[in-house]
Amino acid sequence: MTFSPDLPALKSLRRRMTLVYLLAALALVALIGGGAYGLLSNYFFSATDSALRQKMSTEVIALGARDTGDATLDAQLAALPQRTTVSRDPDRRGSDERHEEPPRLRQEDSVNPDLLAVYVLPVDATGNVLGRGITQTQISVDANALQGALRSGSDWRTVRLSDGGLARLYTVRVEGAGTVAALQLGRSLSDQTQILNYLLMSLLGLAALAAVLVGTASWWLSGRSIAPAREAWAKQQAFVANASHELRAPLTLLRASAETARDELPAAAQSPRALLSDVLDETDHMNRLVDDLLLLSRLDAGKLPLLLEPVDLAVLAADTVRGMERLAAERGLTLKTHLPQEAALMQGDPTRLRQIILNALDNALRYTPRGGCVTVSVGAQGGQLQLAVADTGIGMAREDLARVFDRFYRADSARREGVTGNGLGLSITRALVEAHKGRIALDSAPGQGTRLTATFPRLPSPHA
């Protein structure tokens, strides 16, 4: 298996850019669609109320009422041109009483679809409908609306009908119209609701289509935008890999030459021998640095092969700790383990997992003063395995935790203590943990030690 991160930082940037583009486009669609829906809904609302008020004017005049409980309606009636017509009061149809009616309203009543959709219920004070009323549907009087109109003069409300649909009601108290105490006009909103629902479904469909199209276009555009950065990154990684590879040979030759020269010096030549020993130490340090850079470049380029097999993490941790016990003793440190009795199986590369444990232990041993303790533990939580390396060392500040996995970064506490290192160990550790589909976390506080925790997917035990 080959671990291929495919430039995680650039992939994350591309996803964020795509998400920003997509959200901006969807916000625009929502703004336009919501505005259109709101305008149409408001238009329907206004048109319905206007039609009800206009129809009410016609019916009040037809009844010959002297006054209504709606001051706005009375003012509208007073401003209308009048002509003589026969009263439509059901109790006065046989009389010769005449009153004025606006011809404009009667003409519009016959052609305006909003007016044609309005039903009229003349009622008495107890809510009984007088005559058949002028209605295109079998709708009963709304008692609450009637009581509201009798009490305050007029009443506007939207009610739900027995068939589940909505209707807009306008009820007005009238005076001087015989037994008619109020007029209740209504208009079913089912046709408007159907139109608004159709518009809403269309807008949702448009939003879904826009999400697909804009998402695809955004992904392509963001890919084009970060292409130069991806190319520069690839060139940088190629340079690091090539430089690291080319440096290994001369460093090996330099070490061999320095070692040969030291061995050929007489034992009395202490100063030259010490100087060559320093050269060998620095050469070893440079070799480790070159190896680390080469490993990181392979991880970044996705060219690090992982030989995956079932691994008992507890057994591997015990073997690794056993190999570090002599170094810990030389530094005056106590090395402890807390390992489970049962198998702690995971799918991994034993060599790279050992490197993870070694890097964590090396950090703990470096930053723990003499007399301190380093503890390695392995545990299982559900479908996860946890490897933890905790020390009682110098710890680090909270601001360092955010950058401790950055390459070549070293915390202030480490520099103050004069601890050597190149700042690549934790970067490599995190990359190797993520290559095994795991997660890594670091908890620390100044003077209170550090705890590194790596979590991996767990394989079921063969005896389960």
- Residue 365 maps to which CATH number? 3.30.565.10
Domain membership of residue 393 as a residue range: 307-457
The torsion angle over the Cα atoms of residues 23, 29, 35 and 39, rounded to 10 degrees, is -160
Choose the final residue of a domain: 147, 170, 195.
195
CB–CB of 81/102 below 8 Å? yes
Closest-CA residue to 349 (of 389, 300, 285, 299):
299
Mean pLDDT of the chain: 80
pLDDT tens-digit profile of 260-318? 877 777 766 677 777 777 777 777 767 777 777 777 776 766 667 788 999 999 999 99
pLDDT in tens, 139-180: 688 889 889 888 888 899 999 888 888 999 999 988 877 788
Percent of the residues in the chain that have a pLDDT greater than 70, as a whole number: 78
Residue of 9 and 73 predicted with greater confidence: 73
Between CA 457 and CA 437 the distance in angstroms is 7
Q: Looking at the domain assignment, is residue 179 inside a domain? A: yes
Stronger pLDDT, 420 or 22, i.e. the higher one: 22
Q: What is the pLDDT of residue 179?
A: 82
Dihedral sign of CA atoms 237, 238, 244, 245 in order: positive
Q: How many domains does the chain have?
A: 2
pLDDT at 430 > cutoff 70: yes
Answer whether residue 245 is part of any domain. Answer: no
Is position 263 within any domain?
no
Answer yes or no: is pLDDT of 5 > 50. no
What is the average per-residue pLDDT within 69-82?
72
pLDDT at 399 over 90: no
Would the pLDDT of 108 be above 50?
A: no
Of the candidates 161, 195, 229, which is a domain's last residue?
Answer: 195
Give the percent of the chain with pLDDT over 90.
Answer: 26
Q: Is the pLDDT of residue 198 over 90?
A: yes
Q: What is the pLDDT of residue 178?
A: 79
Whole-angstrom Cα distance, residue 326 to residue 151?
98
- Of the three residues 195, 213, 240, the one that is the final residue of a domain is 195
What's the pLDDT band for 235 if we cut at 50, 70, 90?
A: low
Same domain, 31 and 179: yes
Asked if the structure places residue 260 within a domain, the reply is no
Q: How confident is residue 341, by pLDDT bands cut at 50, 70 and 90?
A: confident
Distance of CA 168 to the CA centre of its chain: 41
| DSSP codes joined into one string, 249-305 | HHHHHHHHHHHHHHHHS-TT-HHHHHHHHHHHHHHHHHHHHHHHHHHHHHHHHT-EE
pLDDT of residue 243: 65
Tokens 């583009």 locate to: 21
Residue 37 forms part of a structural domain: yes
Residue 97's pLDDT is: 47
Average pLDDT rounded to a whole number, residues 206-224: 88
Residue 206 in domain: no
pLDDT of residue 101: 46
Question: How far apart are the C-alpha atoms of 311 and 348, rounded to whole Å?
Answer: 6
pLDDT reported for residue 107: 46
Cα–Cα distance for residue pair 459/3, rounded to 1 Å: 19
Confidence (pLDDT) at 334: 93
Backbone angles phi, psi at 91, to 5 degrees: -90, 0
pLDDT value at residue 307 = 86
User: Would 242 be classed as within a structural domain?
Assistant: no
Q: Is the pLDDT score of 94 beyond 80?
A: no
- Does the pLDDT at position 403 exceed 70? yes
Please enumerate in sequence order all residues whose Cβ is within 8 A of that of 66, keeping only pairs 6 or more positions apart, or say none. Answer: 175, 176, 177
36 and 167 part of one domain: yes
Residue 230 pLDDT > 80: no
In a domain, 267, yes or no: no
Please state whether 382 falls in left (phi above 0), alpha (psi between -120 and 50) or beta.
left
Identify the pLDDT of residue 309.
Answer: 93
Q: What is the length of the chain?
A: 464
345 pLDDT tier (thresholds 50, 70, 90):
very high
Clarify whether residues 38 and 186 are in a common domain: yes
The pair of three-digit structure tokens given for residue 328, joined into one six-digit string: 């810990």
